[in-house]
Amino acid sequence: MAIENQLSGTGLIKWISLLIATFQLFNSVYASDLKSTIVVVLTEPQSAHTDSIILQSPDVTCRGGSPVLNVTGINVTWYADSSRNAFLAKGNTFHTAPLDSTTTFYLTQNLGGVESVVTPIKIEVVDAILVKVTTTPASCGKNDGTLSVVGDGGSERYPLKYRLNDGPMQLSGFFDNLAGGDYKISAQPLSEGCIVSDKVKIEKQLSPSILSVDLTDPKCGDANGLIHIEAYGGNGILTYSLDGKNFSENNLFEQLKGGDFTVWVTDDSLCTVSQNVSLKKSQKLQLNQIDVVATSCGIPNGKVKLPMATGNGNLSYTITGRPEQHLNEFDSLQAGKYQLLVKDEGGCADSTDITINKSIGPVISQIDVQKPACGMSNGQIVIVATGTGGYSYSLDKTEFQNEAVFTQLAQGRFTVTLKDDQDCVVEQNVDLVSSCNQSFFLPSAFTPNKDGINDRWEIFFSDAKLEVQELTLYNRWGEVILQNKPGVISSGYSLWDGIYKGSIMQGPFAYKIRILMRGGSSYVYFGKVFVL
């Protein structure tokens, strides 16, 4: 027996399922008598979508939602399981209970009293959950804060998207280039609904603060100034710089010259603050020029002047043997070596050694006298001079003459003046005693060689006693090498043994001796003795 079934207006697959079920029914009833082939002829559907089960409403909903599902089809039955044991509803519309997870519904159609195979309809349930929000603060003065959010509840087809404030949606949960402040972070898998939001604060990092800058100005023109920075705050370890480029943890800067500086402080986040400071400039104390004037005429009239000395503030001057003074000139100096020291208000000092050269003035090396006769004016004074030459002579500061001899002199005291061609002068008093007074003899030379002959400088006189009130000996430079008061002595008394400071002296020595005469008057005699 041949059976031909004309199919129209149905889905191919569904009708195959229906035919298989029908064939099984026929086979169970007529299997013993069936000798023929059943032929099923399938033809193209004549009208699509009229009796197929197709979901017309969205296939996704938010967790906890109760969507209204709409499908196409004829005599549609809704089941909760594929075995069609859990009946839910009939019709093309079904209002579900609240859904907490992705759920599959199973639908069939009834065509001509025959129920079709099930058609699964899967409704995906999505959610938006903010699991973790992490932020990093914005650096001072910068928009470099970040926000990172981890969400859950999306799916492969409907992944979570994130939005910061009213900005655009994005798949990434990372937001950067943020300034410090309050933000609203939102997440949702769908364009509408299923949205979750939270408030987030991006902290603003505090910048370092400069507490103080201690300055030590350089001194004496040297690079010895100091800058010490005290700072706090910021993020992590603070580092310091004077040029804004080279930073270190050392907050003390040394060996600085005077000038303007900018101190910089930065932290681990490169947050930087600065402050302008200044070190006073100082100059090196310098003597620059020293004017030295040698002595003249063999007297202590040397001079030193420092006209160009420079330093910080007022200067003070010191020279060997003199107290400190603010005048830059010293005078009345003897020939010799000196140290000059100059100080300024900053405590800077400079020194140097100088030499004031000696000079040669006229020297009265010897005065020879001829005593006037008793009551007569026939005494004579003869001056013996040494020095540079060109001498002129004066007696009692009268007019100068070229002759060294003064005659026709009576007994008395005279002042002898010697002047050379440099106008240097020297004076000496001379006592001219008449023969009426006591007489004595002083040798003009002696030889202290311990041979027993003329070893000492001795004084001789005819009287039994003589009083020597004072004796002074000078070397060739006018220094006193012997001064004493022998008193009352006898003839032959030794005035000097020729020894000075433990050594025998040689050369000419000028002397001045004061003797009390028989008449009660004191007379001073000048002369020269040679030690041979």
pLDDT tens across 427-466, in order? 899 888 765 555 788 889 999 998 888 899 999 987 888 8
- For residue 11, being part of any structural domain is answered with no
- The reply to whether 347 and 335 lie within a common domain is yes
- For residue 30, being part of any structural domain is answered with no
- The reply to whether 193 and 213 lie within a common domain is no
**Boundary of a domain, candidates 159, 187, 205:** 205
Q: Are 351 and 370 in contact (CB under 8 A)?
A: no
- The reply to whether 69 and 119 lie within a common domain is yes
**Boundary of a domain, candidates 309, 339, 356:** 356
Tallying the residues shown for the chain, one arrives at: 532
Q: Are 295 and 302 in contact (CB under 8 A)?
A: yes
Of 22-31, 412-421, 507-516, the one with minimum mean pLDDT is 22-31
Q: Are 184 and 198 in contact (CB under 8 A)?
A: yes
- For residue 26, being part of any structural domain is answered with no
- For residue 46, being part of any structural domain is answered with no
DSSP 75: S
pTM attached to this predicted model = 0.42
For 90-135, the DSSP string reads ESSEEEPPPBSS-EEEEEE-EETTEEPPPEEEEEEEE--EEEEEEE
Q: Residue 521: which pLDDT band, with cuts at 50, 70 and 90?
A: low
- Count of domains in the chain? 6
Question: Can you tell me the distance from the alpha carbon of 152 to that of 149, in angstroms, rounded to the nearest whole number?
Answer: 10
- For residue 20, being part of any structural domain is answered with no
- For residue 392, being part of any structural domain is answered with yes
Q: Where are the beta strands (DSSP E) in 239-362?
A: 239-241, 252-256, 259-266, 272-279, 291-293, 302-305, 316-319, 329-333, 336-343, 349-356
Question: Can you tell me the distance from the alpha carbon of 525 to that of 513, in angstroms, rounded to the nearest whole number?
Answer: 5
- The reply to whether 446 and 523 lie within a common domain is yes
Which element (helix H / strand E) includes 470?
strand 466-474
Q: Residue 10: which pLDDT band, with cuts at 50, 70 and 90?
A: very low
Above 90 in pLDDT, residue 328? yes
More confident residue, 79 or 371: 79
**Placement of tokens 């060109």 in the chain:** 390
CA 243 from centroid of its chain's CA atoms: 11
- The reply to whether 213 and 162 lie within a common domain is no
The beta-carbon contacts of 95-99 under 8 Å, at least 24 apart in sequence, are: 95/66, 95/67, 95/68, 95/69, 96/66, 96/67, 96/68, 96/69, 96/123, 97/66, 98/64, 98/65, 98/66, 99/61, 99/63, 99/64, 99/65, 99/66, 99/67, 99/123, 99/125
User: Mean per-residue pLDDT for 178-207?
Assistant: 91
- The reply to whether 461 and 427 lie within a common domain is no
User: Mean per-residue pLDDT for 500-529?
Assistant: 86
The three-class DSSP label of residue 77 is strand
β-bridge pairing 445-446 and 522-531? parallel
Percent of the chain with pLDDT strictly greater than 70: 88
- The reply to whether 383 and 420 lie within a common domain is yes
Q: Domain containing 149: what range?
A: 128-205
- The reply to whether 369 and 406 lie within a common domain is yes
Above 80 in pLDDT, residue 522? no
Q: What is the pLDDT of residue 270?
A: 84
CB neighbours of residue 371 within 10 Å? 18
- For residue 172, being part of any structural domain is answered with yes
Of 138-142, 200-204, 276-280, 394-398, the one with minimum mean pLDDT is 138-142
- For residue 47, being part of any structural domain is answered with no
**Boundary of a domain, candidates 399, 415, 432:** 432
- The reply to whether 258 and 305 lie within a common domain is no
- The reply to whether 298 and 340 lie within a common domain is yes
- The reply to whether 412 and 342 lie within a common domain is no
Q: Residue 114: which pLDDT band, with cuts at 50, 70 and 90?
A: very high
What CATH number does residue 188 fall under? 2.60.40
Q: Are 193 and 62 in contact (CB under 8 A)?
A: yes
Above 90 in pLDDT, residue 474? yes
- The reply to whether 274 and 307 lie within a common domain is no
Q: What is the pLDDT of residue 446?
A: 93
